[in-house]
Amino acid sequence: MTTQGTLNGKVALVTGGSRGIGAATALRLAREGADVAVTYVNGKEAAEDVVRTVEVLGRRAVALRADAADAAEAAGAVERAAQALGGLDVLVNNAGVGVLGPLETLGPEEVDLVLAVNVRAVFLASRAAAARMGAGGRIVTIGTCMTQRVPGPGGTLYTMSKSALIGLTKALARELGGRGITANLVHPGPTDTDMNPADGPYADGQVALTALGRFGTADEVASTVAYLAGPDAAYVTGAELSVDGGHAA
């Protein structure tokens, strides 16, 4: 089955695309017609499942092992994806780590890891992607609703790292706008994934903070990413879009 959509002929890379929001995004972009590369660290089988599903949709796909905590691999994944699929039009910076806990429990190792994955890797991948992209290129980064509203203690390190992406995205929009490349940021709220299931032990408290009174789905976040990756969002750049059920309302 060959898909027909807004991204026909485009090539996309979704980091951390083996599960959750990343996998849903990879599949949504493929349904819109894009060929898709996904990166993974430990989820090889899950990433290969995503590839097989993309191929069933009639698109090309490749799974690449790349550790976002490693600077060389974070940038190298972009080059490998472009080589495997013949270019790059869309980068989705989805890979991230969430280390939560009281300040006194977070040592230099945790700080280095979170900043390496959530900030440095995004910068390096975006820089590498920008060098590959022409007019119409899209950089979409996954943030968090916690940059808009921190609901309680324990999220200082994680929120700090994700907040850095706001400045990065706005600066990328300014730097790349003259080349017709957009950069935008999506802030998911509580989203039903295997890392944060809607029936998990912390779900009730998260639901209570939303206006809609429920978790979102990975597909709902992916649909916003697909919009930003497509032609209808050609005049949207440097923006923060919340898909959070009213968490920040």
Amino acid at 96: G
Residue 201 tokens read as: 């032990």
Instruction: Choose among 199, 235, 229: nearest CA to 214.
Output: 199
Q: How far apart are CA 134 and CA 68, in angstroms?
A: 24
Six token digits for residue 140: 């979409």
Q: DSSP letter at 120? A: I
CA 160, chain centre distance (Å): 17
- Residues annotated as catalytic (active site), given as ranges: 158
CA distance 198 to 200: 6
Give one word for 67, left, alpha or beta, with left for phi > 0 and alpha for psi -120 to 50: beta
Tell me if 13 sits within 8 A of 34, measured CB to CB: no
CB 166 within 8 A of CB 240: yes
Can you tell me the distance from the alpha carbon of 155 to that of 76, in angstroms, rounded to the nearest whole number?
30
